[in-house]
Amino acid sequence: MTSRVVRIALLLGALAALGAGGFVVFNAERALAEEGGAKTMYDAQARAVATDLMQLRTAQQGYVAQGQGTDFWMQRAAEHLSRLDRGMASMAADARAEGTRTAVQAAKAAFEEFRKLDQRARQYVTDGQALMASDVIFNESLAAGTNLGERVETARVSEQAAHDSAISALRWRQLYAAAGVAAFLMIAVLLLAPMPEREVDVISALKALTDSGPKMKIEPSQPGSPQAAASVQIPASMASARVVERQVERPATERSPELFTPPQVPISVGGPLPSSSPPPIDLTKAARICADLARVLDAGDIPALLTRAADVLKAPGMIVWVADQSGQTLYPLLTHGYPAATLMKMGSLSTEADNATAAAWRTGELRAVPATSEAPGALVAPIVTSDGCVGVLAAEVKDGRELRGEVRALATIFAAQLATLVTPVAAAGGHSLVAEA
């Protein structure tokens, strides 16, 4: 592009796009900070209400307990009731999502019911009817308090989801603005870049014009005739030249079909493999399991992921053994395919035992137990962290899968992913940690 006016206009447009994109990104970043602060504040409000509710329930139980006396506990309960009232009002005022407002209204109704039950309990205590007060506190108030806590938690989760949605929309707005500006700037740079002029070899051009060699006269032919391209008169000095015709081998794509036939290879797309081939490993499922393991925030999600890993490995049984803090005993922390009663009966395992599980823990290397006529095979992969081996992943496998390299590699990968989630346990609590996947 050589027009100066157009180049200046394009440059100004690029600068304007850059400024507009920066303005959009800056405003979105400020809105993100506000959304993050509001999200944190609402979460803190909901948790404060839940804490006050728990302390109120404790104070209520003090009405009929021996200790400081009913006046002390009633005063404490009145304070928590007042704080709950203010907390519920704040949650209602700050709610943005419709689901949050609905949950807060339901929580208010549950709170009023709880307040009435508290007044009944106080009246029974004042009248000296401790048995009736206990019945209200430990039965009716317990149910009302549980209902109130569930409504508050529903409101908290709903509001968190609303803030997350708003934050995601702002992030996408930033991405679109940045991508649009980048695309515009790239086009502007390509249009503004100077086009290199074609260099002319002056010496060669002069030589071609002054060369006194044989001349060839080109005469125009009639359009459509075989000589339409050019008719050339050959000088007499070249008349005795012989034209040697030689055959030029055609490329493979121009040969006869019978001379170029690709080999016929049977291809199976989506169908079952031949019976002689072992069942394949689903790497897509394995990759999703690894990604989900890396995003685990709640320990309750691990058993389901362990079940999925067992499905990929075709393992009917799987155990995650975790060592205690002294490194002397292994405990079955997570299981798949085994009833909890069996594992409780099995108990712990010494790290010095003469078996594949203890050996994998001691050496930090994968161990394979070949199948026999009486027992299936097994793979034991160590769970190693920067502090050393903290446990092992033991999987029962069949059909000789313990000998397949890809199955061993996948077991090692799953064990490596579990290393970010497993820590040594206390020896006294080892048996209580058994969880069935």
User: Three-class SS of residue 388?
Assistant: strand
Report how many domains make up the chain.
2
pLDDT the model gives residue 229: 36
Residue 419 domain-assigned (yes or no): yes
Cα distance between residue 335 and residue 319, in whole Å: 4
User: Which domain-ending residue is among 165, 191, 217?
Assistant: 191
The one-letter code for the residue type at 6 is V
- Say whether both 187 and 291 belong to one domain: no
> Is 242 buried (19+), middle (13-18) or exposed (0-12) by CB count in 10 A?
exposed
User: Which domain-ending residue is among 191, 226, 241?
Assistant: 191
User: Which domain-ending residue is among 164, 191, 218?
Assistant: 191
- Say whether both 187 and 290 belong to one domain: no
pLDDT along the chain (437 residues), means of 10: 76 85 88 88 89 86 75 85 88 87 89 88 85 86 88 90 90 89 85 61 41 42 40 40 39 37 36 53 87 82 87 87 87 82 75 89 90 84 89 88 86 88 69 42
- Say whether both 57 and 174 belong to one domain: yes
Residue 413 domain-assigned (yes or no): yes
pLDDT the model gives residue 381: 92
User: Three-class SS of residue 275?
Assistant: coil
For 361, the domain range is: 283-436
Task: Check if the beta carbon of residue 116 is closer than 8 Å to that of residue 123.
Answer: no
Residue found by looking up tokens 């519920």 in the block: 88
Cα distance between residue 42 and residue 95, in whole Å: 8
- Say whether both 289 and 428 belong to one domain: yes
Number of residues assigned to the chain: 437
Task: Check if the beta carbon of residue 367 is closer than 8 Å to that of residue 359.
Answer: yes
pLDDT the model gives residue 278: 64
Closest CA to 311 of 202, 428, 397: 397
Cα distance between residue 154 and residue 298, in whole Å: 18
pLDDT the model gives residue 362: 92
The one-letter code for the residue type at 24 is V
Residue 430 domain-assigned (yes or no): yes
Residue 276 domain-assigned (yes or no): no
pLDDT the model gives residue 366: 92
Cα distance between residue 381 and residue 364, in whole Å: 8
Task: Check if the beta carbon of residue 395 is closer than 8 Å to that of residue 428.
Answer: no
pLDDT the model gives residue 240: 39
Task: Check if the beta carbon of residue 318 is closer than 8 Å to that of residue 332.
Answer: no
Closest CA to 121 of 152, 147, 142, 150: 142
Residue 70 domain-assigned (yes or no): yes
- Say whether both 21 and 168 belong to one domain: yes
Cα distance between residue 425 and residue 433, in whole Å: 9
Residue 94's CB is within 10 A of a number of other CB atoms, namely 14
Query: In whole angstroms, how far apart are CA 3 and each of 11, 17, 191, 290, 425?
Result: 12, 21, 11, 56, 75
- Say whether both 332 and 432 belong to one domain: yes
Residue 253's CB is within 10 A of a number of other CB atoms, namely 6
The token pair at 25 is: 């990104």
- Say whether both 166 and 45 belong to one domain: yes
Give the domain CATH number at 134: 1.20.120
Cα distance between residue 328 and residue 361, in whole Å: 11
Residue 77's CB is within 10 A of a number of other CB atoms, namely 23
Task: Check if the beta carbon of residue 329 is closer than 8 Å to that of residue 423.
Answer: no
The token pair at 232 is: 């050339």
- Say whether both 293 and 421 belong to one domain: yes
- Say whether both 291 and 187 belong to one domain: no
Closest CA to 425 of 355, 342, 334: 334
Residue 397 domain-assigned (yes or no): yes
Residue 349's CB is within 10 A of a number of other CB atoms, namely 21
Residue 139 domain-assigned (yes or no): yes
Give the domain CATH number at 369: 3.30.450.40
Residue 246 domain-assigned (yes or no): no
